[in-house]
Chain A
Amino acid sequence: MKFGKRNLALSLALTMAFSALAGCSGNSNNSGNAKNAATEAPKASEAAVDKKDVSAKDITLELLYWGDDVQKKLVEAAAEKYTADTGVKINAQVLPADGTFDTFIQTRLQSGELPDISYMGEGDIQKYNEMGILADISDLLKDGSIPEKLPAITIHSPEQKVIGVGLSNQMELLFYSKSKFDEAGVSYPPTKVEDAWDWDTFVANAKKLTKDSKGKTAADAGFDASLTENYGLGFTAGREFHHFWAANANGGGIVSPDGKEFQWDSPKSAEGIQKLADLVNKDKVASPFTYTWSTGIGSAVDALSGGYAMAISGSWDLANIKGNEDIGIGVLPKMEKAVTMNAGAPLVVYNTSKHIEEAKKFYAYMVNPENSLELLKSGAWLPNQADWYTDPALVDKWTADLPESAKETILSYSTAKDAIVQWPAYYVPAYLKMNTEYEKSIDQALSGKKTVKEIYDSIMPAIKKLWESGKVS
């Protein structure tokens, strides 16, 4: 055979080598570096001018978001409707709702391929603002394209530009098991901010709800805390967000809403967090804090059907309690004040978008609660617009399927004055770094090894210095 083994081998080797080269090179259109991103911004404005006559049908916007199957369906439906109405095509890409989203955005930034619009973690928005890639959307609020949103989820840059609006207004709530309360003879937690249990009542009730394997409660003599079978309370304290409310409730805080006063190191803030730690280590009514610190307690449903009578968790857990008659919702207990803390991932527009005007229009469409009605009805999201909490017709739109106690609690928080504290991640540029320093050490206090004051004394000078820098990096 003329085409000998050697030639065959050579051909094969060449094929392999070229395929490897092809594999390494990737799509040349996709290659690039961060510099591309820098040059995209001017290009974007040029594009906006040059292509005014380009028909909407030629425009495709990329939306990057996270979510489960339900959310995916809703976002896709909203995107399809938008395309039908405007002709602008939407390439909606979903990612898992975990830490990989931020990594993915960073990778896209490095390759100069940022989407036009994306969800963004609350703690990341100031980071990306400092990187200079977020568009100012103040104009959308000024010209009425976006009706006024709740101040708690309207996110400003340090220069007071609006850089994002939360898609949802999430908040910390007290979930409880009605059957466990009935069994212990404890009345259900109140649903009105003004009726919130004071701290001593809360602890006393939590003790009645905490039981060891011999049936004794923490309020009984002879209770053995080492054999606790059912805890009065469980925390979802996977993040600092889940216990910061206590610092505010105790009359302290983290950083004042205007960003001008550092409150984190105040004795009242430390005392508020200490009260939470005491629930585990002194009062013995909550499972070891580090447990919840490390892994969370899972959804409120799992917690309450397991070994907890109450669970403090985010309002997103409302989506999991649908059809579960045993679960009720109440307001968090009061220390000096009855408050909760809010969160809610914002949607942002990137200034690198080649179709920035169209992207902003799509943005205004997406943050309209009407377009996330199914998520609002499920309880996974809460409306981001003030009138959706006060206008009875609008309230009915999203609360019909929620348990009555949930509806009352949410409306009470949303209408009571100063009952919702904004998560400082939204407005403190150095928050990520400050929180990293905090999380390094705070579990020693939450596990009872040291007091919160001892930890604060050692870490707060460094955290305050970071805050004073006023910078993310």
Chain B
Amino acid sequence: MNPESKTGVAPVYVKKHAKGATKEAVAGYLFAAPAIIGFLVLTLYPMLASLFYSFHKITILSGSQVMDWIGLDNYRYIFNNPSSEFKKSITVTLIYAFVNVALVIVFCLIVALLLNRKFISRNLLRAIFFLPSVVPMLATTIVWQMLLQNQAKGGLVNWLLLQLGIAPVEFLTDPIRIFETLFIMSLWTCGGTIVVFIATLQDVPGELLEAIEMDGGNAWHKFLKVTYPTIKPVLFFQLIMCMMTSIQIYTQSVVLSRNGAPDRMTYFINVMIYDHSFVQVGMRGLASAEAWIVFLITMVITGVLFYFQGSFKRDDSMGTRKRVRL
């Protein structure tokens, strides 16, 4: 029955509806309040404060923080002063980040594709690949350090090499080898990404894969024409996330080396910012400026990735065909 036709209460109903909508909106905002407040207090405010700090030289005198306005001097120091290590630090960080992202994404995708096939003990293998990602990075790094360090210090890998008459390898002290170690550790702990890929692969339409098979297509054709278009959005998300975490590398450097050794090759950007902010004196303003430049660089990288996001969009024709079939 249509109430409007009989009683003419339509306006009341609309009003009630509007009132209800407001109430719901209020409830929604209240529910979201913890997150919003958290963002404002714990993210936005510190960001703006650090931007403000970046134009100051901050020292502590007689127990109180003294901030002297120095304009763009911190930024000038970063780019023009030969003592600044920003360029080397950001370079090694970005090299690590780009190579690491490529390795992690390709490795995880291959492992996920393999673990998505049906075979005995598949679940056991999935668990094995996932388990290392549960271990905190600190513990993982210590274990790898113990494995790869000098044989005289008890490094197992080098000891085994020595027993085989092979010269031990300076995994942790050679400027290039240390990167190999970091990549190995990164692959060791990427079980979370593998799990996400496996979950996404469940979404790949099986009938399309069968169709390609019937048309004489091979595994590569199946991946290229069906699997890849389906998982593209997740791939893009993982790419962004992996890039972010790679740029933020910190623990591995602090545990494996000191002072960014060897040859400052592990003096990653977050290590440097922490060092300037909390270890050195009078460099907190500089650290803020460095953090902002890193933020802008990360934004640019993300922007470029988003620019290419089009090629990561899920192919709609998949869904269309699926819907038609249904």
Chain A interface residues toward B at CB < 8 A: 6, 9-10, 12-14, 16-17, 19-21, 24, 33-35, 37-38, 40-41, 99, 102-103, 106, 109-110, 114, 127, 130-133, 213, 226-231, 234, 238-239, 287-288, 290-291, 293-295, 297-298, 302-303, 306-308, 351-352, 432-433, 436-437, 439-440, 443-444, 447, 449, 462, 472-473
Given A99-B279, A229-B162, the answer on whether A443 and B263 have CB atoms closer than 8 Å is: yes
A230/B152 in contact, CB under 8 A: yes
A-binding segment of B20-28, B227-235, B300-308: B20-28
Closest chain B residue, CB of each to CB of A21: B37
A234 to B152, CA, bound (A): 9
Note all chain A residues with C-beta closer than 8 A to B256.
Answer: 294-295
Closest chain A residue, CB of each to CB of B26: A10
Kindly provide the distance from the CB of B60 to the nearest chain A CB, expressed in whole angstroms.
4
Give the interface SS of chain A, mostly helix, strand, loop or mixed: helix
B62/A41 in contact, CB under 8 A: yes
Note all chain B residues with C-beta closer than 8 A to A437.
Answer: 83
A306/B278 in contact, CB under 8 A: no
State which of A19, A20, A114, A227 has its C-beta within 8 Å of the C-beta of B167: A227
Does B119 belong to the interface (CB within 8 Å)? no
A38/B263 in contact, CB under 8 A: no
Given A131-B61, A303-B153, the answer on whether A291 and B173 have CB atoms closer than 8 Å is: yes
Chain B interface residues toward A at CB < 8 A: 20, 23-24, 26-27, 30-31, 33-34, 37-38, 41-42, 59-65, 83, 85, 145, 149-154, 162-163, 165, 167-168, 170, 172-173, 256-259, 261-264, 278-282
Closest chain B residue, CB of each to CB of A437: B83
A24/B30 in contact, CB under 8 A: no
B24/A127 in contact, CB under 8 A: no
Note all chain A residues with C-beta closer than 8 A to B258.
Answer: 238-239, 293-295
Given A13-B27, A132-B63, the answer on whether A288 and B34 have CB atoms closer than 8 Å is: no
The 4 closest A-B pairs by CB, nearest first: A307-B152, A13-B30, A473-B282, A38-B64
Kindly provide the distance from the CB of A461 to the nearest chain B CB, expressed in whole angstroms.
11
Kindly provide the distance from the CB of A256 to the nearest chain B CB, expressed in whole angstroms.
23
Note all chain B residues with C-beta closer than 8 A to A234.
Answer: 152-153
Note all chain B residues with C-beta closer than 8 A to A447.
Answer: 173, 262-263
B165/A13 in contact, CB under 8 A: no
A37 to B154, CA, bound (A): 48
Note all chain B residues with C-beta closer than 8 A to A351.
Answer: 63
A37 to B66, CA, bound (A): 12
A308 to B151, CA, bound (A): 10
State which of B42, B154, B165, B173 has its C-beta within 8 Å of the C-beta of A294: B173
Given A109-B60, A288-B173, A437-B83, the answer on whether A10 and B280 have CB atoms closer than 8 Å is: no
A132/B162 in contact, CB under 8 A: no
Note all chain B residues with C-beta closer than 8 A to A294.
Answer: 172-173, 256-258, 261-262
Given A20-B38, A103-B278, A462-B83, the answer on whether A132 and B62 have CB atoms closer than 8 Å is: yes
Note all chain B residues with C-beta closer than 8 A to A307.
Answer: 150-154
Given A10-B26, A227-B167, the answer on whether A443 and B65 have CB atoms closer than 8 Å is: no
Which of A19, A130, A290, A462 counts the most B-chain CB atoms under 10 A from its CB?
A290
B65/A110 in contact, CB under 8 A: yes
A432 to B276, CA, bound (A): 12
Given A16-B33, A291-B173, the answer on whether A228 and B145 have CB atoms closer than 8 Å is: no
State which of A10, A19, A473 has its C-beta within 8 Å of the C-beta of B23: A10
Kindly provide the distance from the CB of A359 to the nearest chain B CB, expressed in whole angstroms.
15
A33 to B172, CA, bound (A): 42
B172/A295 in contact, CB under 8 A: yes
B263/A444 in contact, CB under 8 A: yes
Note all chain B residues with C-beta closer than 8 A to A291.
Answer: 149-150, 153, 170, 172-173
